[in-house]
Amino acid sequence: MTSLGVLVQGELQRMQRYHILTGGFVVALIWVLALYLMDAAMLRTMFTTVLYLDAVSMPMLLVGVSLYFERQEGSLKSMLVAPIARSTYVTSKLLVLILSGIITLAVLYIYGRFFRGLDVHLLGLIVTVVLCAAFHTLLGFLATYRSKDFTSLLMNVMAYMLLLGIPVILEFMGLFNHRFLTALLYALPTKAVMVMLSSSVNNSFNWEFVYGLLYFLAVGALLFRQVLSGFAPFAEKEGGV
């Protein structure tokens, strides 16, 4: 088995041991309950919204939880001398949290498609969830680097949602349509998530989906480099060096 395979397997075992994946599945069931309570007229909007909330917030929280558990175990310090590239380590976490996002999508899709007759573009949703989960996992790395503890990380994620997430939801629901403010939203990663999800849920692909795709690929590459460069200082804090 390759080093990446070993890391992915270890990450899955850690997330099972600390019930991180179980927690993600429970959240998915809560989203299903939210969809169950919606009438047919609001189902498509609610489906988009719950996918958006999960895809934007959960990867950031889950990667932070994983890193803090590794800090408690003392395994982060060993990564500084292990013969494993840091890019491989980061990629393993990206793959596991993408899997978590796909599981949530599968739960919501099965309910929406087979119990409520919701017709969506599944491939478009998979592409969106993969890119969004990877992007926000990288953001989660950076937020964890800058947080003193998990409570601090939680506050940072809440601030991210309040400042960058909620305005996009309000615009999506038509609660404001100021032309200049709407244009500014396209600078936000949360807007890229929403337009890709909306395009996939409504089976309506245009330039906005391409914009979201390019946004995540370009900005995500920059974030990946920042995550790699910031890992050693973060891990050294654990070891006190």
Among the residue ranges 79-83, 92-96, 121-125, the one predicted with the least confidence is 79-83
Mean pLDDT over all residues of the chain? 90
Q: Which residues contact 165 (CB under 8 A, 6 or more apart)?
A: 52, 53, 56, 57, 190
What pLDDT, on the 0 to 100 scale, is given for residue 103?
92
> 153 exposed, middle or buried (CB, 10 Å; 0-12, 13-18, 19+)?
buried
Which is nearest to 153 in space by CA: 144, 161, 162, 165? 144
Using a pLDDT cut of 90, give the percent of the chain over it. 64
For the entire predicted model, the pTM comes to 0.92
What single string gives the DSSP state of each residue in 25-38? HHHHHHHHHHHHTS
State how far the Cα of 135 lies from the Cα of 167, in Å rounded to an integer.
Answer: 19
pLDDT-based confidence at residue 239 (cuts at 50, 70, 90)? very low
Mean pLDDT of 6-31: 84
What pLDDT, on the 0 to 100 scale, is given for residue 77?
76
Give the chain's domain count.
1
What is the domain range of residue 143?
3-239
What pLDDT, on the 0 to 100 scale, is given for residue 15?
79
Which range among 17-26, 37-46, 191-200 has the greatest average pLDDT?
191-200
Q: 9 to each of 12, 64, 94, 223, 231, how far by Cα in Å?
A: 5, 18, 13, 24, 21
Q: Which residues contact 223 (CB under 8 A, 6 or more apart)?
A: 135, 138, 139, 142
What pLDDT, on the 0 to 100 scale, is given for residue 188?
95
State how far the Cα of 137 lies from the Cα of 97, in Å rounded to an integer.
Answer: 7
Mean pLDDT of 2-24: 82
> 151 exposed, middle or buried (CB, 10 Å; 0-12, 13-18, 19+)?
exposed
What pLDDT, on the 0 to 100 scale, is given for residue 1?
60
Mean pLDDT of 224-236: 91
54, two tokens: 């999960």
Among the residue ranges 1-5, 84-88, 121-125, 206-210, the one predicted with the least confidence is 1-5
What pLDDT, on the 0 to 100 scale, is given for residue 68?
86
Q: Is the pLDDT of residue 49 over 50?
A: yes
Which is nearest to 60 in space by CA: 189, 191, 160? 160
Residue with the larger pLDDT of the pair 15 and 95? 95
